Amino acid sequence: MAKIAEMTTWWSRVPLDNPIKFKWNTITHRDCVVVRLTTDEGVTGHAIGLNRNAPLDVVAQDMLSWNVLGFDAMDVDGFQSRSRGAHAFLDQTGMLAQARSLIDLAMWDIRGKVLGAPLWQLLGGGPKSAAVLLVEGYELPNESNQEFANRLLARASEGYRAIKLEAAGYKDPSQLFERLRLIREGQTGNLDLVVDVNGSWHDLRNAQWMARHLAEFEIAWLEDPFPHHRLDLLRPLTESSPVPIGSGDDVTDPQALIDLVQQRAVDVLRVDATTLGGIQPTQDVIGSARQMGIPVSGHAHPYVHQHFSYATDAMPFVEAFPEDRPFETSFRLTTGSVFRDVKDGLLDRPTTPGLSFDLDLDRVEEWSARKETKYAK
């Protein structure tokens, strides 16, 4: 029985080529926590998550490492039980859930490598490929409305059937409407457009006004209209909106997402295995949505979420960022993003075991702001 002998964490700050401006802040880099587990037989498992300046690496090391070091490397459920028991007096969500997620994912990576199977196969298998939801719609510096539309239409001509636009940074919604109009006028085939507000709205009436105006452009769904502490606003918006509403990014409480599904407060459920606690909690949430006939969309991190798309018909898209754009750079901590494997807008399921990715340790070390290793006693 292989045991976890070592856990290393890094807090790496990956620079962006161009700052991304949102309503409340400007992003100049991506803060990531990297977790690597090593067994006493030399098998390694890895996971990467966005920490958004939170000390998830410290939480993992100081609070959770002793629940995994020295224990069976294949017993993911045992780790979950021990960690919850050790901190039963604390809220199981928030940073604790995020840190637990990364250790859980790294253990699943080890499990797949030991069994010689990619994660999607361990989860049940499924279709050979999945459509990519390409996050291309961030603004580039000094770009006109027509240039913005042409850039997205060029992606559609490459075979992408679904593209996401980031809409949190627009001070004047008329500019967003104009860009959507130009895209719709220029497209030659079917194209799903997702508009992501990144939780930047706090007013139900404004959200309802925006939804009515977005209906003209037949968007696939309006994403994360409200911040997570105002999930109560989702149901009244969904019930009144002429466009589908999606939400759930970065939520750390599986029950909160199950409640959204059971209340039919969303038309599309967003999930993130790097924040929900790991693979099984994410499976629980996806299963709940599937029972209610609500489609699921994975939040970024295609290295893990692609596996759910191949294992269930509930998650039709793999959300991915283009490698040749300066939008999301955490892939630079790995030996390669899934983007380079996309053909005609489709991503084939990987064949390498585990989570099917490797770290670029040189880059991880280069951009590391903090590193710590603990060993089994």
Does residue 356 form part of some domain? no
Does residue 235 form part of some domain? yes
Instruction: Tell me what the mean pLDDT of segment 140-150 comes to.
Output: 95
- Residues in CB range of 44: below 8 A, 6 or more apart: 36, 37, 38, 109, 110, 113
Residue 171 has pLDDT above 90, yes or no: no
Query: Do both 51 and 168 map to the same domain?
Result: no
Instruction: Tell me what the mean pLDDT of segment 181-193 comes to.
Output: 97
Per-residue pLDDT, 1: 84
Does residue 215 form part of some domain? yes
For 150-155, which contacts have Cβ atoms below 8 Å and span 24 or more sequence positions? Answer: 150/186, 152/183, 153/183, 153/186, 153/187, 155/322
For the chain, the domain total comes to 2
Domain CATH number, residue 144: 3.20.20.120
**Average pLDDT for the chain:** 95
Per-residue pLDDT, 125: 86
Query: Do both 195 and 271 map to the same domain?
Result: yes
Does residue 165 form part of some domain? yes
Query: Do both 111 and 14 map to the same domain?
Result: yes
Query: Do both 146 and 22 map to the same domain?
Result: no
Say how far apart CA 225 and CA 203 lie, in whole Å. 9
Q: What is the pLDDT of residues 350-364, one digit of tens each?
A: 999 999 999 999 999
Of 5, 1, 10, the residue nearest 361 (C-alpha): 10
Q: What is the pLDDT of residues 217-257, one digit of tens each?
A: 999 999 999 999 999 999 999 999 999 999 999 999 999 99
Query: Do both 190 and 321 map to the same domain?
Result: yes
Rounded to 5°, the CA angle 316-322-325 comes to: 155
Residue 140 has pLDDT above 70, yes or no: yes
Query: Do both 43 and 131 map to the same domain?
Result: no
Name which of 82-86, 280-284, 324-328 the model is least confident about: 324-328
Domain holding 300, by residue range, is 121-348
Q: What is the pLDDT of residues 3-57, one digit of tens each?
A: 999 999 999 999 887 777 766 677 788 899 999 999 999 999 999 999 988 999 9
Per-residue pLDDT, 127: 84
Query: Do both 235 and 311 map to the same domain?
Result: yes
- Enter the tokens of residue 248: 């759930």
Say how far apart CA 105 and CA 325 lie, in whole Å. 27
Say how far apart CA 243 and CA 283 lie, in whole Å. 27
Say how far apart CA 134 and CA 323 lie, in whole Å. 11
Q: What is the pLDDT of residues 189-209, one digit of tens each?
A: 999 999 999 999 999 999 999
Per-residue pLDDT, 23: 64
Provide the percentage of residues in the chain whose pLDDT is more than 90.
88
Does residue 354 form part of some domain? no
Does residue 340 form part of some domain? yes
Helices H / strands E in the chain, number of each: 12, 14
Say how far apart CA 100 and CA 252 lie, in whole Å. 10
Indicate the residue type of 171.
K
Per-residue pLDDT, 28: 80
Does residue 291 form part of some domain? yes
Domain CATH number, residue 104: 3.30.390.10
- Enter the tokens of residue 130: 């999945």
- Enter the tokens of residue 94: 């928030």
| Maximum Cα interatomic distance, the chain, rounded to a whole number of Å | 64
Residue 135 has pLDDT above 90, yes or no: yes
Does residue 204 form part of some domain? yes
